[in-house]
Amino acid sequence: MSTPSPSPLDAPLSELDPDLGRLITQEEARQRDKLRLVPSENYAFPAVQEVAGSVLNNKYSEGYAGRRYYEGQQNIDEVERLAIERLKTLFGCEHANVQPYSGSPANLAVYFAFCSPGDTVMGLSLDAGGHLTHGHKVSISGKYFEAVQYGVTRDDHRIDFDQVAALAREHKPKLLWAGITAYPREVDFDRFAEIAREVGSVLVADMSHISGLVAGGAHMSPVGRAEIVTSTTHKTFRGPRGGMILMDKVHKKAIDRAVFPGLQGGPHNATTAGIAIAAKLATRDTFKDYAAAVVTNAKTLAEGLLSAGIDLVTGGTDNHLILCDLTSKDVPGKVAAQALDRAGIVCNYNSVPFDTRKPFDPSGIRLGTPAMTARGMGTAEMTRLAGWIGEVVAAPDDEAQLSRIAGEVKDLCDQFPAPGVPSA
């Protein structure tokens, strides 16, 4: 008897596809050797990465634990129950749906659960720091619904709660969204809850950016204040790329139905397992320390940038992100972001409130500390980073300076191993 020979299709990646293998190796180097400052990005926990490539990927599980449309769910049901129970414990909510494929589908499921096309909804406008899915006109949320957008005040660039209340009274939205992607201050979910209660809206808190800070106790929790809480799981939470919806029991049926069969087919079980891991790790004191350090690092970076003469929207930060307004420097955000990338400092260009420039060529850059903090960097490193950013913004065309800084950045990165990224 001979053992069957493996199919050539089942060879490892390195043999099968050296082109793709090389791109991944290069991406590992990029994530290892550069300072990653995009505030929505992070290093997932290595254990999360481990389950992402596991055999859980092979299983179809349409439905929910105990009510599936395929057999063979002995293990998957337990994985999903574990994820749900851990999230309930971590965030103190009554139910969690862990099946949304990502943050945007999680939000779409909320629209589907509560709204009919044409209903009025309200959210923070994109240029004031909101998300596309909160009613922006190019998104399905702005095309299929009557979207009213609120903003920030002209004088201090904080959320304009007088405007939120006035618009809410006038339009009585079905959904009131409270969530941010480029707003450097704590979101006052109590204020939003008050307004939603007064006008009879369902308050939906989208904590995608801050769920790790909430879990770690470094930001006010929306749970218990908003009826529905949505989130990505891959930002400050350090889980897999995915989404989740937390809610009171009364909304379980509507939300679960909206996710499946309303919007999606089979859940991504490897992702569910990753969420279970992240929810477990987030209860550790070490994670609380991480969340606190993300904020301390952001505050230190902000102070350093102010000392370097860079204007910050709202003058600083309470969370993990910083929005720099480069108007007074006469450097467009895109020019700064591209020069910083050449110096090994990766961020994104971003609109600032009341920006006079176009969204594709705006006045600001957005920086965040979650990924650097995950490498164990602290305030001393933030101060160095602020100095480098100041130098780049002062002379974005000075290629010699940019390559000198890129070398210094690489030396710094060598001292702080990137979680889950193989060493060189």
Ligand X SMILES: *Cc1c(COP(=O)(O)O)cnc(C)c1O
* Interacting residues toward ligand X by CB under 6 A: 40, 102-104, 107, 131, 133, 179, 181, 206, 208-209, 232
| Secondary structure class of 212 (helix, strand, coil) | helix
Choice between 273 and 402, CB closer to ligand X = 273
Comparing C-alpha atoms, which of 219, 252, 220 is closest to residue 93?
252
- Shortest distance in whole angstroms from residue 44 CB to ligand X: 13
Q: How far is the CB of 45 from ligand X (least distance, A)?
A: 17
Between residues 157 and 234, which has the closer beta carbon with respect to ligand X? Answer: 234
Given the residues 206, 256, 318, 381, the one annotated as active site: 206
Of the two residues 220 and 412, which places its CB atom closer to ligand X in the complex? 220
**Looking at beta carbons only, is 258 or 331 nearer to ligand X?**
258
Which one of the listed residues 60, 158, 342, 404 is annotated catalytic? 60
Catalytic site residue from 241, 257, 357, 404: 241
Exposed/middle/buried for residue 266 (C-beta within 10 Å: 0-12, 13-18, 19+): middle
List residues bridging with 123 in a β-sheet.
149
* Catalytic residue list contains 232: yes
Query: Tokens 């600083």 identify what position?
Result: 316
Compute the least distance from the CB of residue 231 to ligand X, in Å: 8
Structural contact between residues 243 and 105, judged by C-beta atoms closer than 8 angstroms: yes
Minimum distance from CB of 73 to ligand X (Å)? 26
Which residue pairs from 78-86 have beta carbons closer than 8 angstroms and sit at least 24 positions apart in sequence? 79/269, 79/272, 79/273, 79/276, 80/267, 80/269, 80/272, 82/276, 83/272, 83/273, 83/275, 83/276, 83/279, 86/276, 86/279, 86/280, 86/283
Token code pair at residue 110: 């909320």
Tell me which amino acid residue 98 is: V
Q: Are 51 and 277 in contact (CB under 8 A)?
A: yes
CB of 291 to ligand X, least distance (A): 17
Question: Smallest distance from the beta carbon of 177 to ligand X, in angstroms?
Answer: 9
| Residue 241 annotated to the active site | yes
Rounded to whole angstroms, the Cα distance separating 308 from 326 reads 12
Task: Tell me whether residue 108 or residue 343 sits nearer to ligand X (CB atom).
Answer: 108
Identify the H or E element spanning 80.
Answer: helix 74-91
Instruction: Specify whether 188 is catalytic.
Output: no
Question: Residue 206 catalytic?
Answer: yes
First vs last C-alpha separation in the chain: 44
Q: Which of 133, 181, 232, 300 is catalytic?
A: 232
- Is 235 tagged catalytic? yes
Rounded CA-CA distance 315/353 in Å is: 13
Give the β-pairing of 120-124 and 146-150.
Answer: parallel
> At closest approach, how far in Å is the CB of 215 from ligand X?
15
* Nearest CB to ligand X, comparing residues 210 and 324: 210
| Nearer to ligand X among residue 63 and residue 103 (C-beta) | 103
| Identity of the residue, 142 or 344, whose beta carbon is nearer to ligand X in the bound complex | 142
- Please confirm, yes or no, whether 127 is among the known catalytic residues: no
* 3 state DSSP class of 414: helix
Residue with the shortest CB distance to ligand X: 103
Interatomic CA distance for residues 372 and 310, integer angstroms = 21
Catalytic residue among 28, 50, 62, 186: 62
Least spacing, CB of residue 241 vs ligand X, in Å: 7
Residue 416 in tokens: 């702080």
Residues 285, 103, 129, CA angle at the centre, nearest 5°? Answer: 90
Max CA distance (Å), the chain: 82
Active site residues: 60, 62, 206, 232, 235, 241
